């Protein structure tokens, strides 16, 4: 969907490296990115790095959130996902 809207997605995997992460974000912002999606592999609360608060672009958290809710966050709902999957399987005749 993003590509069809004319956007290019750039990905930088830092694995939480405290030196490389700010370097990667700095390199991306210097090249004029219009927004940043900050993601973790496991759903969890994070302490957002200070440099995220100073960015002049929208920052969205994916699979993580902050205690102060300073950024919009998208996190999965395992309970809702399990319920939806169960309903789907039952509707197709599965019982066990």
Q: Express each pLDDT in 22-63 by its tens digit.
A: 999 999 999 999 999 999 999 999 999 999 999 999 999 999
User: Which pLDDT score, from 0 to 100, does residue 16 have?
Assistant: 85
Q: Which residues, 6+ apart, have CB-to-CB distance to 34 below 8 Å?
A: 7, 57, 58
Instruction: Give 65's pLDDT tier (boundaries 50, 70, 90).
Output: very high
Q: Where are the domains of the chain?
A: 20-91
User: Which pLDDT score, from 0 to 100, does residue 77 have?
Assistant: 79
**Average pLDDT score over residue span 88-92:** 90
User: Which pLDDT score, from 0 to 100, does residue 7 have?
Assistant: 85
User: Which pLDDT score, from 0 to 100, does residue 72 have?
Assistant: 96
User: Which pLDDT score, from 0 to 100, does residue 38 have?
Assistant: 95
For residue 66, the cross-strand partners are 46
pTM given for the model: 0.77
């Amino acid at each position: 969907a993003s590509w069809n809207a004319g956007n290019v997605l750039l990905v930088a995997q830092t694995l939480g490296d405290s030196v490389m992460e700010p370097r990667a974000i700095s390199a991306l912002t210097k090249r004029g990115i219009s927004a940043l999606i900050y993601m973790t592999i496991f759903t969890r609360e994070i302490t957002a790095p200070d440099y995220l608060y100073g960015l002049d672009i929208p920052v969205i958290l994916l699979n993580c959130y902050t205690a102060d809710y300073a950024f919009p966050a998208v996190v999965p709902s395992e309970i809702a996902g399990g319920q939806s999957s169960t309903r789907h399987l039952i509707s197709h005749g599965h019982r066990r």
